[in-house]
Amino acid sequence: MSDLRVGVVGLGIGQMHLLSWIGVEGASVALIADVDEQRREKATHDWKVPAVDSLDALLAAGIDVVDLCTPPSMHEAQIEQCLAAGVHVICEKPL
């Protein structure tokens, strides 16, 4: 069985989530996303993981699990978008 491909969205607190995913057997971070170009480029350099600029682009890449680390006001719509795309969702804070 291959690892679940995880995408982390939001690279503020998402940096801590990236660190946590290192220890998860059966899953690996395949892609990260952030709307801020500088944050995205720094995270790509630091973590050696490709980055995209949106949740849409991340979902289009065929991710299995999305780890949402975005502002809480965005969570409900993003969770619905992920579920509609048929992917599992982990949300950094409850709605």
| Pair 34, 44: CB distance under 8 Å | no
Q: Is the pLDDT of residue 1 over 70?
A: no
43 and 51 in contact (C-beta within 8 Å)?
Answer: yes
Q: Report the alpha-carbon distance of residue 70 to residue 92 in Å, rounded.
A: 8
pLDDT at 61: 97
CA distance 65 to 16: 17
pLDDT digits (tens, 9 = 90+) for 29-81: 999 999 999 999 999 999 999 999 999 999 999 999 999 999 999 999 999 99
